[in-house]
Amino acid sequence: MTVKKTSRSRESAGKPNPPHRILVVDDNEDVRRLNTEVLANSGFTVDAAADGAVAWNALRLNDYDLLLTDHGMPPVNGLHLVKKLRAARMAMPVIMVSGMEPAKELRRHPWLQIDATLLKPYTPGELLATVRNVLYAPGDTAGPAGPFSLKSEPSNNSPL
């Protein structure tokens, strides 16, 4: 399997500061595609991986500003992927996506330093707000496509 790369949106191309680069990992093709499209359309550079094993290869080969990973996926789940990331001393923010609250597991492993969790189902607006909260310091709401507003969301506001 290979990592699917998306190009920057037309809005962010040619800007002096390149957009943040995000790796989206989810074994569900529809969720992975929607997450990738929402983030790419908001000015982020996005790569996508279908599972933790493919994601681990991408993390070793590329520099990312954020890892957005599903929790429950075979053969390498999100928690195992983050363990590998931290064991390799790779410092980057992590958002864990899950259908159920993984708080119990995360409390057992505080050294994993998960920056945020996003519970399914969520809307594109919730995804963008979580990503921006993790990537930008409080008060710095101007991301690659400008300040976040609900008007910048895709018109389909159905849960991901």
Q: Are residues 82 and 94 in contact, defined by beta-carbon separation less than 8 angstroms?
A: yes
Of 49, 112, 57, nearest in space to 80 by CA: 112
What pLDDT does 75 receive? 83
Residues in the chain: 160
Average pLDDT, stretch 134-138? 81
Average pLDDT, stretch 69-91? 90
What pLDDT does 148 receive? 33
More confidently predicted of 139 and 153? 139
Model confidence pLDDT, tens digit, residues 27-42 = 999 999 999 999 999 9
Q: Are residues 38 and 128 in contact, defined by beta-carbon separation less than 8 angstroms?
A: yes
Model confidence pLDDT, tens digit, residues 92-124 = 999 999 877 666 666 777 778 889 989 989 999
Q: Are residues 69 and 55 in contact, defined by beta-carbon separation less than 8 angstroms?
A: yes
Q: Note the CATH architecture for domain 4-10+17-135.
A: 3-Layer(aba) Sandwich (3.40)
Look at the pTM and tell me if it is higher than 0.85.
Answer: no
Q: d(Cα 118, Cα 131) in Å, to the nearest integer?
A: 10
What pLDDT does 143 receive? 45
What pLDDT does 111 receive? 72
